[in-house]
Structures are given as C-alpha cells and as structure tokens.
Structure 1
Amino acid sequence: MSLPPESREEAIARLTKSASDLETRTTPRISQEMAGHAAASQAWKIIADLLGGVFVGLALGWVFDYFTGASPVGLIGGVLLGFAVSVWMAWRTAQRLMAEANKFGEPTSVPFDDEDEGA
C-alpha cells in the first residue's frame, strides 16, 4: 500500500513541522538551579580575572625590581598595569555575558512584594 501523493507545499510543511518537533525534543532545558550555578561561575570568573591581573602584575613588578634594583618602581608599575589589564578583562567578560543574555530578550520583571521589606 503506497502513500497518497502530496503536493510539494504539503511535503515541505510536514517536514518543517517534523524538524521543529525534533528541535524542541533535543533542545536541552536549563533549570533555574543550573542557570543560577552558571551565573555564579561567571561571577567567580570575573573576580578571578580582577584578582589574577593584580597578582600577576605584582609578581612581574617584583621580578623587574629584583633584576634592575629600581625598588618601588617595578612594584608600583606592575600593580597599576595589572589592575588596568584585569579591569579590561573583567569588562570584556561582562560584555560577552551581556551579549549572550540579550539573545534571550528582555528579562521579565519580578513583581514587588511588600512582605520582603519587613515591618
């Protein structure tokens, strides 16, 4: 027994529906808990960028001072340079995260709850 012939438009519509059904079944659903963990890990990454840049600048400044003998210049310059680089890296990470968040549209507002303020 063969299938009844269908027009080209009907076949395309049927295949499009099948493809969208398959996509909804295979798209991973992210729970609120997983989203919270992802946000926390990104926050820790930004903090690590900020602290790491300062400490690397401090270490490079100390090495510069050790080999050249220009005692406070290397430390001060290294810390300032490390701080500037770490702020730039944190800004770049925040911009990337905002671009990813904007893919999902505007966040929905949480309604105001009077009970949260306390009496």
Structure 2
Amino acid sequence: MAEGTDESGNGNRDTSSSDEAALSARLGSLDHRLSEIRGSRKTRTDQPGSEGGGGAARASAMALGFRLSSELIAGVIVGALLGWGLDHLLSTSPWGLIVFVLLGFTAGVVNVVRSAGAVPDRTGR
C-alpha cells in the first residue's frame, strides 16, 4: 500500500495535515503565553522595591548565617589557642590541643544552637 492511503484507498494526508496544523497552532499559543509570563516575571524582578521586603529578609538571614558561623569558628579557634597554650606551658604534647579543640567545637555548637533559637534559654528570666 502507499504510505498516504488507508485500506479504502482514500488518503489520510488531509487528517494528518489538519492534526499538524492544530498542533502547530496550539504550540504557537503556548509559546506566546509562556513568553508573556516570562516577560511579566522579568519586569517584576527588574523593578527596584518590588520585592516587598524580600531583600531585607535575605539580608537578615545572611547576617544571621554569618553570626552563627562566626560563633562556631570562634569557639574552635579559642579552644585551639587555649589547648596550644596549655601544651606549651605544661609540655603535654598534643593532648591539650586535642581536648580543647573538641571542647571549643562543643561550645561553638552549643552557642550556635542557642543563638538559632532551637533550644530555649534555661535561665527562666
């Protein structure tokens, strides 16, 4: 049989071309709607002050992140310095450094958890 004919001998090219035309029209319509949506999103993000305080919230979250990370790093550094100083004074080789780095890390994690508000303050005041 020929490629464009069905069993009765009639060509089905008319239905396939109409299906292709309908599909092409739907794809064109979808492309147009997507470009409109993308354009409206771009104009909203390009305008200053249209975020509705989102920039301030992001800055606040970044400040909190820097504060929490600096508390953790400070705990480890202070522990390492105390351990090194204790090792230097008492000639206890690496044991003071190891113990105080672990204590500094633990203190840093406790400070981060406390500052993040995950654990309520136990002072009760």
Q: TM-score, normalised by structure 2?
A: 0.51
Of the three residues 73, 79, 96, the one matched with 1:74 is 96
**Which structure 2 residue ranges, 5 or more long, are not aligned?**
1-51, 121-125
Partner of 1:20: none
- What's 1:64 paired with? 86
1:53 aligns with 2:53: no
Please say if 1:94 is aligned against 2:116: yes
Matched, 1:83 2:108: no
Percentage of pairs with the same residue: 35
Aligned to 1:37: 59
- 1:57-116 per-residue CA deviation (whole Å, 9 max, x = no partner) reads 0000000001000011110011000000000000001117x98xxxxxxxxxxxxxxxxx
Match for 1:76: what amino acid? Answer: I
RMSD: 2.0
Q: Distance in 2 between matches of 1:61 and 1:45?
A: 24
Distance of 1:58 and 1:65 partners within structure 2: 10
The whole-number CA distance in structure 1 between the counterparts of 2:60 and 2:116 is 14
Gaps of 5+ in 1: 1-29, 100-119
Rounded Cα–Cα distance in structure 1 between residues aligned with 2:66 and 2:117: 15
Greater relative CO, 1 or 2 (CA 8 Å, sep 6+): 1
How does the TM-score come out when normalised to structure 1?
A: 0.54
